[in-house]
Amino acid sequence: MIVENAEFLQDIYPTQISDFVFECKQSVPKNTRIVTFPRMPKPDSYPAEWIKEYWI
């Protein structure tokens, strides 16, 4: 947001980057490759079952 003319990864790779809070609480959308999380809590503190399976 500070860099002029910056490209957003969400625009370059539509449907591949999902936000946990808005899209991934129960499951991960089919084409998602990256899930973003807010600063707190950290991913290993979230109760979603899919995180326990994929978080390394």
Does residue 44 form part of some domain?
Answer: yes
Q: Is the pLDDT of residue 56 over 80?
A: no
Q: Does residue 3 belong to any structural domain of this protein?
A: no
pTM of the model: 0.75
Neighbours of 46 (CB within 10 A): 17
How many domains does the chain contain in total?
A: 1
- In a domain? residue 34: yes
**Alpha helices, DSSP H, located in the chain:** 9-12, 20-23, 49-54
55: pLDDT strictly greater than 80: no
Cα distance from N-terminal residue to C-terminal residue, the chain: 30
The verdict on residue 38 lying in a domain is yes
Domain contains 47? yes
pLDDT for 44: 80
The whole-angstrom separation of Cα 1 and Cα 3 is 6
Model pLDDT for residues 17-47, shown as the tens digit of each residue:
999 989 998 899 999 999 998 888 778 888 7
Domain span at residue 31 reads 9-54
